[in-house]
Structure 1
Amino acid sequence: MIGIPVLRTVVTATVAALLHFSPAQADASFDLSPEQPGRVQATRNEKAIAAIPADFKFVAPGKFTVAVSPGGPPLATYATDARTVVGADPDYAEAIADSLGLTLELVPVAWIDWPLGLTSGKYDAVISNVGVTEQRKEKFDFSSYRQGLHGFFVKADSAITSIGEPKDAAGLRIIVGAGTNQERILLKWSEENVANGRKSIELQYYDDEAASLLALASGRADVIVQPHAQLVFIAARDKNIKRVGTLSAGWPERSDVAITTRKGSGLADALTIATNGLIKDGAYARILERWRLSEEALPRSETNPPGLPKF
């Protein structure tokens, strides 16, 4: 039987403040200024421009209007002026706009609002860490631009050096979010371990990020699993955890993050061509490197790639 104790830890405001700094306190290697002097610039891609359907109408003439949810660095967050949205996704949106010969119009939205806003024509696309799923493909088109990865991170002085398959996690105490895709995968890993005579995985659940990080720091847990990008930022910020592996959101298959557009709008192919142009000329790699997300690089973009199945 798989043990899944539900832990509840009361963390004082003082501890939370120590573990959860504001963006302005982030590691200096992440530029969260509104000016973004290091933002990667891209050049016009005539093939991508030619692929835009003649009857496609952008929300605003001459502009590429993109929705983004500022959920946190390094993907998208508010800059130190508390108004400008910066991060890997805004950088990528800017590069795509450059490729299409357009000016970027970035629209901050709540995550829950992007589907309705996109279908109602409020913006041309969503570039906000949206994972491709077979269910979403029924309503939207996709142009992939990153791998969807979860990260295995441990204390900086942990003896654990690598987690890449179920046997590597046998007997470990792993912090995971309840009801998440990574929980579903780790439950399968634990079942596989038990079936092969290895120890099960002990999954631990906490109420918030501060409590999770405290449990890891205090030795009550061995590993934390969250979306890879989030943990990359935390590792740079706190300097007390390290990556020991990554896990595809679609394990055992790859699962992609993609630019999302209205179903049948015809824009997806142009965005795929633009992305492949960025990959070919190196701008894509520079964007990911700037935000420490090189592990999430794709070899090529695809229109409507295989997505997570319905569970």
Structure 2
Amino acid sequence: MTIFTRAAGLAAAGIIAVLSGLGPAEAEDTGFDLSPEQAGRIHVDSNPEAITALPADYTFVTPGKLTVATAPGGPPLNTYATDARTVVGADPDYASAIAESLGLELELVPIAWADWPLGLTSGKYDAVISNVGVTEERKEKFDFSTYRQGLHGFFVKADSPITEISEPKDVAGLSVTVGAGTNQERILLEWNKLNEAAGLKPIDLQYHDDEAARLVALRSGRVDVIVQPHAQLVFIAARDKDIKRVGTLSAGWPERSDVAITTRKGSGLAHALTVATNGLIADGTYRKILDRWQLAEEALPKSETNPPGLPKF
């Protein structure tokens, strides 16, 4: 690792620690293992069917290794460990299991989120495993092998009388904090139309620019509900223990929207990755990985190659 890469990793880890409120001494309190050793990581045997599905003419970036890019954006999906250099989380665990299924060693490359499309198309890595959602626009340039549902979470204060949000009528008359221009806002505006057509009270949408402001609004009682990507709120709930989940929402509502391994269009790698994922689902390893990071709600019944994605809105 170069001095520059090391410094970049430390800087990124510092930013994530500030945003998440996480320090090394606090990691154990969350129920998540954020140590660099990852003693609890789940390992698997190679999957002959997945290996056979690899295209004969595919050349890996590094022979014998699956080079995977991931953007450390925060726990529990992918974040820097307490050593401020090792990337850990649900996505790295999943990447490790996929590499082992293919009989390969994992080479995990931390990147900035904005860099993944160019890095992938230019051949810097074999795949991206970093909470990338399937969209119709992205499918024009990339292939996808799904491995999780893309979910938003509805969370409330731990002592809130609200117990469940699963459909539009459940938020009628409630105040909900969202970010302007987000997918969550788009969906809730559609829910508002349905509620108004049914003669129900509208949703009181409250706009806040960032997660910290949304959480302050919720905890102070200025809003009833916060909605944003599910995994982020799972970690916050485990860390702070003052909010609770009352429901989830597909990022592609009214359709399901999935998160996928992303590979170069036409590389032929996607099919083998789908086979590998379905092997992990079948033998129970997949569920164990999600359970380890408290993301069981995001489980898929099966992996698919290039399924319908979010449309161009």
**In which range does the TM-score fall when normalised by the shorter chain?**
over 0.9
Aligned partners of 1:135, 1:96: CA distance in 2, in Å?
26
> Is residue 44 of structure 2 the alignment partner of residue 36 of structure 1?
no
Any stretches of 5+ residues in structure 2 without a counterpart? 1-16
Q: Secondary structure at the match of 2:50?
A: helix
Q: Does 223-232 or 191-200 show the bigger shift?
A: 191-200
Q: Secondary structure at the match of 2:184?
A: helix
Q: Hey, what does 2:100 align to over in structure 1?
A: 98
Query: Kindly tell me: are residues 28 and 231 of structure 1, through their superposed partners in 2, closer, same or farther at Cα, counting changes over 3 Å?
Result: closer
Aligned residues: 295
Q: Secondary structure at the match of 1:247?
A: strand
Q: Secondary structure at the match of 2:72?
A: coil
Q: Normalising by structure 1, what TM-score?
A: 0.93
Deviation at 1:230, TM superposition (A): 0.3
Q: Secondary structure at the match of 1:135?
A: helix
Q: Following superposition, which runs of at least 4 residues in structure 1 exceed 6 angstroms of deviation? A: none
Deviation at 1:212, TM superposition (A): 1.3
Matches within 5 A, 1:189-200: 189-200=191-202
Q: State the AA in 1 paired with 2:84.
A: A
Q: Hey, what does 2:231 align to over in structure 1?
A: 229
Identify the structure with bigger relative contact order (alpha carbons < 8 Å, sequence gap 6+): 1
- 1:243-279: per-residue Cα shift (whole Å, max 9, x none)? 0000000111111000000000000000000000000
Q: State the AA in 2 paired with 1:218.
A: S
Q: State the AA in 2 paired with 1:21.
A: G
- 1:69-102: per-residue Cα shift (whole Å, max 9, x none)? 0000000000000000000000000000000000
Q: State the AA in 2 paired with 1:93.
A: A
Deviation at 1:28, TM superposition (A): 4.0
Aligned partners of 2:45, 2:148: CA distance in 1, in Å?
20
Q: Is the 8 A contact 1:41 1:95 kept in 2?
A: yes
Seq. identity, %: 78
The answer to which structure has the higher helix fraction is 2
Aligned partners of 1:293, 1:129: CA distance in 2, in Å?
13
Q: Normalising by structure 2, what TM-score?
A: 0.92
Q: Is the 8 A contact 2:176 2:227 kept in 1?
A: yes
Q: Hey, what does 1:306 align to over in structure 2?
A: 308
Aligned partners of 1:176, 1:101: CA distance in 2, in Å?
43
Aligned partners of 2:284, 2:173: CA distance in 1, in Å?
42
Query: Kindly tell me: are residues 91 and 257 of structure 1, through their superposed partners in 2, closer, same or farther at Cα, counting changes over 3 Å?
Result: same
